Structures are given as structure tokens and as C-alpha cells.
């Protein structure tokens, strides 16, 4: 197997749910050796969230868990036991990075604060992922995808004007937190190896949103600059035409029009002679409701009705326009481009057999990601990992009986 | 103070819009010297504003510029693009495609570690910039390209920004209200965020590898491929179960109730998530034990009669201030939060306490508070060290100190049009 970018990186993963596991998954998928520590019995809470393989609830069948934990090893360990604490320190001693996602009070209360970890391993980087960060007045507040996105992100401007704001797709804010945690972790690790600066990284989910470019950066800077407080809008409310997402022959087609793109739009729909009339390019043509109506009813809707999503997409892309079909998962899985690039990856798992997963996010020329292993069964690597630490078969039996693993 | 992690690393930044600049911003926040390499005989679309010189009337109406005025040099004043993801960066001008430009650029490459771009796939090759060429000048260079669909394949020439990209990838059909068609969904920009955050990650991984082996590399980040893992549960629900998921509003099937409820004031809201019976009982207590609450004793009932429950909770929250409710509910152990609009976010005590939104003075845009850095570190002083750069603001430093051009040569390059701070008057878009 070719060397990977992170073949020399060992990660002790004390995270659960979504943000932390996505962070360590990114590292694992590019070659880091990630040991995931799970609570004995139930494991990572994500194991009980659906959707489930064949809709049968089972700790090894959660699509969420399976997708977030590829390439990792799983051990079970009770961190509240004295032996559990000792073993975590033994593992930290052999790790370059520890990532945890407990509430801020938990690690110190377990006797696993950063100072303790550094006494064991002076070079270890600790990344702490939490809802609100390790400090501040809301530090101990509780959160959820919706609650945290509302405080940190652009929830106020997602949705339509006369309704309540509505959140992003599924766990998106938590995924974004995981991405940033992975980048900051690699930054800190590089700083450790390059400059010898060893430190803790503090990742707060609300802060990732408040300073992130899922609209918040440009939108809040916009308010600082122009003092125009903007709200939610219908997608079809754009001023230039045609702008929005419109029905076509077999689905919906999204396009952004306006004066700048007008010549391209005319070419896209076959350059009907009537559209060459100068009235269409007069200075205020894009603001004239009667012209918009004429264009939409006489030219655009009829053209859409005769073309499929893919035909509309291709015709507009030839003209260099930013357009899209309104795709569902089957559309995506059948996309010829992703297929030609062999993007999807079929991954084997004892519970599900071979299943198709999204591929890795980027392709590294010198250190390509190797084919990935499926997510681990709960405690699948106990014998291997504990064996390396010198615990024998009989020890494992005792540890199990004592509720440590 | 300890060194910044990427102190000593230099990045040639060819990015525009959001996806690319957000990636190099993370590298800059980590301490790299990120230099925006900008042509000055034309404006790269969406690099420093939707257009270089927007009409005054349009800006007055739609904003996006300080005091709704494009000013003398609008390209230094755009909130939407130019100044959004540019803290901690430098700017140098050079017309790579003009005589003498490539020579300057190659001189710069020799002192760079990373080249980063996110243009349409044909843009860099047309400038004569390929990995082979870069490698010849700087053998251990790391080159990251992030076009929407990658550099090869049937859609390699397709252009997509965050919003339309997410529609093509299925994000749009998986979010929004259950009773309003997804074609009315507002644009979200998870794909831009992801391209930036994971693009920076890719560079950091490559730096780690280079540190170990001395080898640079080429990285291809297709913004589409890069964003799809966020949808993994929906992808797997289809590939494992054949189910085509749709939107589910503000709900998550493992929480009931969960929603965004109206509060006192115009467009003021409170979010609440109830994960278990304990949180539910606390919510009921804070609501003053209303009689109807006894009809929802267990989570399954709450899930099945969620619409009804939303009405009842909304009627209660509507009479209250959202900050007050957040504090009372959180004190009782209920996950609840205000919904901060673009104005109020600057006033939040927690975000302020943690040093977000520094006040910066920008030469051409004035003094304002800016978005800051997404992460903190215990030793390195991670913060906004400088405001977004004006076009060509750091030409003197780059040409003279970094590249060693003499004053005479500098003036000659200025005459040749490589060095400057203004686009020619005919450059409107």
C-alpha cells in the first residue's frame, strides 16, 4: 500500500455523535491510525440514530454511524474507572493527537485535563470540540444542531418571509464543525512538528458558524457596512430574470439571470429573433414587470417544457451560466460525471455487506487515499489494541467482567 | 507568545468568490503568509465584488458597500466578496498573461510553498499555470485546484457556485419546509464552506507529508465531491434502503419536540430541542405546568402530535423575550437558543466574551467590526492580525523585500502596468 499523507499520525479519538467523529474520519480516511474509544455496552450515541440498514434498528446498522467512522478502530472503555483512566493515558502516550467532544467540564473531572495528558506525553496535541467553547458565559449551555445553528449561523435568513426560519440539511452545522476541527488539528500538529509548539485547540460549534462562510461572514460584514437588516426571501424573489427554480420537462431547473447574463440566456433558448429587439437590453429592462412576464410566458416556460433537467443544464453550461438541476439522491447516484471519475466507493461491512458510500473529499496526487475499511463493530479492536499495551487474554476477561471494557 | 503554526509558510492565492478565499483564510489565520495574486488590467469575476465598478444607484438600493456607496475604489470596499474572507492576507498585483508577468510570477513561486486556486477548470491552464510548470520552478510546491466539478470528466467545464452546486448535489431537496416546494428554498453555502475548510485541510496534510519526505504534490478538490459526504446519511439511505429522502423542516426524528418558535418583537425566534423526558419535564415546568402538557407524556406521543405541540409551545413563547427564555430554559437544562440576525449577533455576550468580531480600520472601507477566526489555540496567538488588503496594497513589500526588485525595476514594472492599485477606467465588470 502506498504511503498516505497521514501514515505517520496516531490519533486517540474520544469523540461521539457527529462533529468529532467527522473530524477524526477525515484524518482516518487519509491514513491516520485512529483509535476510537466507545462507552462499553452502548457505544457512540450515533449508533442509535437512523437511517438503519433495511430499517432495522441495530447498533451496527446506522447509516450515520457507518459513514462517520470508516477506517477507524473501535475499543470499548469505561473512562470513569481507574483502570479506564490509566489506559487512556497509556494510549495518549502513544498518540500525536487526542480529539475529544465532551462537555467542557468532563475531561478535567475524569482526571484527563490537558496538563495531565501533557505530563504523560509532552508532544501531544489536544483538540476539544464543544457546543460553545471551553470558556464564556454559555460554556455549559446545552445545544443541538438547530439550537447552535440559530445562535451562530444564518438560521434567521434561511426559509421564507412569512414562516419560521428553517435549518440546514440534516447535520450540516456539525459536519462543518468537524471540518474546521480537522483543519485546526492538522494546523496544531504541523505547528508542533515544525516549531515545537504543543497546544490545545478549542473548537466551538457556534463560533465555527459565526465566523464561517456558510453566508455568515459575508452577511454580517454586509450589515456592518450598509446597516441594511435583511430577512428571509423566496427563491423566486430575485429581481433579474429568469431567476429561480422552474419546472421543466422532467423536474426543476435552477438558473440565475439578470442583465449580465441576458445575451447568454437568449442564446441558450435558441436566439429567437424577437429577443434581439433593443427593448430587452434597455437600461431598466430587467426591472420591468411586463417585460419579465412577456419573456417568461412567451419564451422561457415553453422552452423549459420541451427540455429535460439535463438538457437545460447542458445548454446553459455551454453558455457559461451558473445553473443546476434540482437533484435528488437517485439523480446524484446516477450522475455520469461522478461515475466517470469513479467517485463512489463500495465498502464492505459485516452487517450490511457491500454498500455504496460517498468518496473521499479531495484527491492527493502523491498520497492517494487507500480503499477504506468499513466502520468498526463496537469493541472490534479490543484484543488488538489492548494486546499492544500488554494486556493479555485473561486481563481482557477480567476487564470485561469489571465493566471496564 | 508561541509561534503561529504556519509561520514561515507562504501561499500564492489565486482564489475568488467564497469557496477558495475561505480556504486560504484558514491558512492565513493559522499564520501562513497568504498573498493574493491579482491581475490589475482586469477584474476577476467575484474576486472584489460582483463587478469592479457597480453603479451607485444599484449599491444604494442593495447595499454591500460601506454607507451604501461604492466609493472611489469599490474593489476595496465589497462586503460580499473582496473583504469577506480576506483578513490576515496580503495583496500583490501582476498581470501574469502580459509581457514580463510570468517572469515575475516565477520569481514569486521560488519563495512560495503552496499555490491555491478555485477558478473554472480552464482558467489556470490558459494563464500557462500547470502543476508541471510549477514543479519545474519549485520542485516541492503544493498545488491545490478546486474547480466545481474537478479538472477532468464530462462536467469538468461546468460552472457552479455554492448555491447552484448544492441544488445539483441534492442539498436543496433535502431541506426546507415539508409543505413548501424545495424550488422555493433559499440558497445555502455549505459546499463553499466545505471547499474552504477541507481545502485548507488538504494543504495541511500535504505540508505534513512534505515535512516528512521533502515532496510536494498536486491536490484536486472537486467542490462537488468534497460536499457530498455531508449528505452521507441520505446517500446511504438510498443505496442501502432505496429510500429517497425529502425535507423535514426543523425536525430530527430523535427529538420531540424540536422547533423554532416566535417570540416578542419583529422576526424574533427561539429554538428548542427536547431529547428526553427530563428535558421535557423541565420545559413544562418553565411553561408553568399548562394543563395540556399532560396529554404529551412520552416521546412517541410528542413526535406523533408534533404539529399540535408546535402550536401550543409557539403560543407560549410568543409572549416572551427570546433571550430571557433562553436563559431560563438553559438554567433548567433545556437546550434552547436565540436566533441571532445579522445585527444582533454582534451584541451577543458569549460571542463577545470569546473575542469574536474585532473592530478593524480598513484604509478604503473605514472602521467596522469584522468576522474573526473560527478556532482558538492555547499557546499561539490566533487572531485577526490585519484587515483585508486593498488591491496591490503590499506591492512594495512583495516586489522589493520578497522578490528583490530594485527601486528602478519597480518603477519600470509600474510603467508596464503590473504594479498599481487601480483597475483602468474601462474595467466596469
Instruction: Please name each of the domains of chain A with its CATH number.
Output: 10-215+344-401 (3.40.50.10540), 235-331 (3.30.1540)
Three-state secondary-structure class, residue B189: coil
For the segment A121-146, the average pLDDT, to the nearest whole number, is 98
Which three three-digit cell numbers place residue A88? Answer: 487512556
Query: Closest by alpha carbon to B52, among B70, B31, B75?
Result: B75
Mutate which: A214, A216, A264, A375, vs B, most B CBs within 10 A = A214
Identify the band that residue A235 occupies on the pLDDT scale cut at 50, 70 and 90: confident
Chain A touched by B316 (CB under 8 Å): no
Q: Which residue of A has its CA nearest to B186?
A: A235
Chain A touched by B280 (CB under 8 Å): no
Of B79, B172, B217, the CB nearest to A221: B79
Chain A touched by B285 (CB under 8 Å): no
Instruction: Please name each of the domains of chain B with its CATH number.
Output: 10-229+355-415 (3.40.50.10540), 258-342 (3.30.1540.10)
Chain B partners of A141 at a C-beta cutoff of 8 Å?
A: 330, 335, 337
Distance in angstroms (rounded) separating the CA atoms of residues B268 and B248 = 22
Cβ neighbourhood burial of A71 (10 Å; 0-12, 13-18, 19+): buried
Cβ contact B374–A193 (<8 Å): no
The pLDDT assigned to A145 comes to 98
Query: How many of the other CB atoms lie within 10 Å of CB of A178?
Result: 32
Backbone dihedral region of B90: left (phi > 0), alpha (psi from -120 to 50 degrees) or beta?
Answer: beta
From start to end of B14-149, where are the E strands? 33-38, 89-93, 114-117, 142-145
The pLDDT assigned to B80 comes to 93
Cβ contact A146–B334 (<8 Å): no
Task: With a cut of 80, say whether residue A238 has pLDDT above it.
Answer: no
Q: What is the pLDDT of residues B151-171, one digit of tens each?
A: 999 999 999 988 899 999 999
Judge if ipTM > 0.90.
yes
Q: Give exposure, A249-273, as e/b (b: 16+ Cβ within 10 Å).
A: eebbbbbbbebebbeebbebbeeee
Q: What is the pLDDT of residues A158-206, one digit of tens each?
A: 999 999 999 999 999 999 999 999 999 999 999 999 999 999 999 999 9
Distance of CA B257 to the CA centre of its chain: 31
Q: What is the pLDDT of residues A249-276, one digit of tens each?
A: 999 999 988 888 999 999 999 999 999 9
Q: What is the pLDDT of residues B323-341, one digit of tens each?
A: 999 999 999 999 999 999 9
Q: What is the pLDDT of residues A328-379, one digit of tens each?
A: 999 999 999 999 999 999 999 999 999 999 999 999 999 999 999 999 999 9
Does residue A1 or residue B337 have the better pLDDT?
Answer: B337
Cβ contact A225–B30 (<8 Å): no
Which three three-digit cell numbers place residue B2? Answer: 508561541
Mutate which: B181, B214, B351, B373, vs A, most A CBs within 10 A = B351
Chain A partners of B342 at a C-beta cutoff of 8 Å?
A: 156-157, 219-220, 222-223, 229-230
Cβ(A373)–Cβ(B213) below 8 Å? no
Chain A touched by B24 (CB under 8 Å): no
DSSP B360-383: EEETTTEEEE----SEEESSB--S
Amino acid at each position: 500500500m502506498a504511503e498516505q499523507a497521514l501514515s505517520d499520525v496516531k490519533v486517540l479519538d474520544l469523540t461521539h455523535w457527529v462533529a468529532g467523529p467527522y473530524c477524526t474520519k477525515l484524518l482516518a480516511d487519509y491514513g491516520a491510525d485512529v483509535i476510537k474509544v466507545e462507552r462499553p455496552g452502548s457505544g457512540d450515541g450515533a449508533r442509535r440514530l437512523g437511517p438503519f440498514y433495511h430499517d432495522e434498528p441495530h447498533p451496527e446498522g446506522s447509516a450515520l454511524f457507518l459513514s462517520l467512522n470508516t477506517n477507524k478502530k473501535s475499543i470499548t472503555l469505561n473512562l470513569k474507572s481507574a483502570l479506564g483512566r490509566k489506559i487512556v493515558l497509556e494510549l495518549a502516550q502513544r498518540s500525536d493527537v487526542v480529539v475529544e467532544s465532551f462537555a467542557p467540564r468532563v475531561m478535567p473531572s475524569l482526571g484527563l485535563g490537558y496538563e495531565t495528558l501533557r505530563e504523560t506525553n509532552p508532544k501531544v496535541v489536544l483538540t476539544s470540540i464543544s457546543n460553545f467553547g471551553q470558556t464564556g458565559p454559555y460554556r455549559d449551555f446545552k445545544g443541538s444542531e438547530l439550537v447552535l445553528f440559530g445562535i451562530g449561523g444564518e438560521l434567521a435568513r434561511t426559509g421564507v418571509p412569512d414562516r419560521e426560519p428553517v435549518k440546514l440539511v440534516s447535520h450540516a452545522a456539525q459536519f462543518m464543525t468537524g471540518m474546521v476541527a480537522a483543519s485546526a488539528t492538522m494546523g496544531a500538529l504541523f505547528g508542533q512538528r515544525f516549531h515545537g509548539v504543543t497546544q490545545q485547540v478549542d473548537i466551538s460549534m457556534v463560533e465555527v458558524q459565526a465566523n464561517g462562510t456558510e453566508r455568515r461572514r459575508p452577511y454580517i460584514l454586509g450589515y456592518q457596512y450598509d446597516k441594511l437588516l435583511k430577512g428571509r426571501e423566496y427563491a423566486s424573489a430575485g429581481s433579474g430574470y429568469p431567476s429561480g427554480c422552474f419546472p421543466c420537462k422532467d423536474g426543476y431547473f435552477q438558473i440565475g439571470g439578470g442583465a449580465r447574463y441576458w445575451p447568454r440566456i437568449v442564446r441558450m433558448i435558441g436566439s429567437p429573433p424577437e429577443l434581439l429587439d433593443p427593448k430587452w437590453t434597455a437600461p431598466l429592462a430587467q426591472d420591468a414587470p411586463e417585460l419579465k412576464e412577456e419573456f417568461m410566458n412567451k419564451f422561457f416556460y415553453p422552452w423549459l417544457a420541451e427540455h429535460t433537467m439535463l438538457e437545460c443544464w447542458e445548454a446553459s453550461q455551454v453558455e457559461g451560466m451558473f445553473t443546476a438541476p434540482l437533484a435528488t439522491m437517485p439523480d446524484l447516484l446516477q450522475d455520469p460525471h461522478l461515475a466517470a471519475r469513479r467517485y463512489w466507493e463500495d465498502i464492505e461491512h459485516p452487517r450490511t455487506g457491500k454498500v455504496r458510500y460517498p468518496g473521499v473529499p479531495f484527491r492527493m496526487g502523491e498520497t492517494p487515499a487507500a480503499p477504506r475499511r468499513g466502520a468498526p463493530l463496537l469493541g472490534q479492536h479490543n484484543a488488538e489494541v489492548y494486546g499492544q499495551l500488554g494486556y493479555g487474554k485473561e486481563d481482557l476477561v477480567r476487564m470485561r467482567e469489571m465493566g471496564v471494557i | 507568545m508561541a509561534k503561529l503554526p504556519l509561520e514561515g509558510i507562504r501561499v500564492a492565492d489565486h482564489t475568488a468568490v467564497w469557496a477558495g478565499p475561505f480556504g486560504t483564510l484558514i491558512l492565513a489565520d493559522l499564520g501562513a503568509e497568504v498573498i493574493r495574486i491579482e491581475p490589475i488590467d482586469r477584474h476577476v469575476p467575484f474576486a472584489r465584488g460582483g463587478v469592479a465598478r457597480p453603479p451607485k444607484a444599484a449599491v444604494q438600493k442593495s447595499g454591500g458597500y460601506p454607507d451604501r456607496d461604492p466609493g472611489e475604489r469599490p474593489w476595496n470596499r465589497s462586503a460580499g466578496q473582496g473583504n469577506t474572507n480576506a483578513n490576515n492576507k496580503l495583496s500583490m498585483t501582476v498581470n501574469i498573461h502580459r509581457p514580463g508577468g510570468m517572469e515575475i510570477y516565477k520569481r514569486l513561486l521560488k519563495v512560495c510553498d503552496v499555490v491555491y486556486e478555485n477558478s473554472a477548470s480552464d482558467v489556470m491552464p490558459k494563464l500557462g499555470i500547470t502543476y508541471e510548470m510549477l514543479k519545474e520552478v519549485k520542485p516541492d510546491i503544493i498545488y491545490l485546484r478546486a474547480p466545481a466539478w474537478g479538472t477532468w470528466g464530462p462536467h469538468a467545464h461546468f460552472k457552479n457556485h455554492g448555491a447552484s452546486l448544492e441544488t445539483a448535489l441534492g442539498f436543496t431537496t433535502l431541506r426546507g419546509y415539508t409543505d413548501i416546494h424545495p424550488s422555493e428554498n433559499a440558497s445555502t453555502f455549505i459546499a463553499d464552506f466545505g471547499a474552504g475548510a477541507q481545502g485548507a485541510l488538504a494543504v495541511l496534510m500535504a505540508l505534513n507529508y512534505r515535512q516528512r519526505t521533502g515532496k510536494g504534490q498536486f491536490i484536486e478538490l472537486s467542490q462537488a465531491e468534497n460536499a457530498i459526504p455531508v449528505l452521507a446519511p441520505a446517500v446511504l439511505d438510498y443505496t442501502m434502503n432505496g429510500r429517497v429522502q425529502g425535507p423535514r423542516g426543523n425536525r430530527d426524528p430523535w427529538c420531540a419536540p424540536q422547533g423554532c418558535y416566535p417570540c416578542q418583537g419583529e422576526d424574533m425566534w427561539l429554538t428548542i430541542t427536547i431529547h428526553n423526558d427530563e428535558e421535557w419535564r423541565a420545559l413544562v415546568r418553565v411553561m408553568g405546568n399548562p394543563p395540556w402538557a399532560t396529554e404529551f407524556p412520552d416521546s412517541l406521543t410528542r413526535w406523533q402530535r408534533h404539529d399540535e405541540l408546535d402550536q401550543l409551545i409557539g403560543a407560549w413563547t410568543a409572549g416572551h423575550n427570546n433571550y430571557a427564555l433562553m436563559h431560563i430554559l438553559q438554567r433548567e437544562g433545556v437546550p434552547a437558543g436565540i436566533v441571532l440576525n445579522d445585527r444582533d449577533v454582534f451584541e451577543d455576550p458569549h460571542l463577545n466574551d470569546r473575542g469574536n468580531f474585532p473592530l478593524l480600520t480598513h484604509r478604503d472601507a473605514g472602521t467596522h467590526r469584522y468576522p474573526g477566526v473560527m478556532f482558538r489555540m492555547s499557546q499561539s496567538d490566533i487572531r485577526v492580525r490585519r484587515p483585508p488588503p486593498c488591491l496591490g496594497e503590499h506591492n512594495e513589500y512583495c516586489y522589493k523585500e520578497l522578490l528583490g526588485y530594485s527601486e528602478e525595476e519597480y518603477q519600470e514594472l509600474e510603467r508596464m502596468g503590473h504594479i498599481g492599485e487601480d483597475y483602468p477606467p474601462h474595467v466596469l465588470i
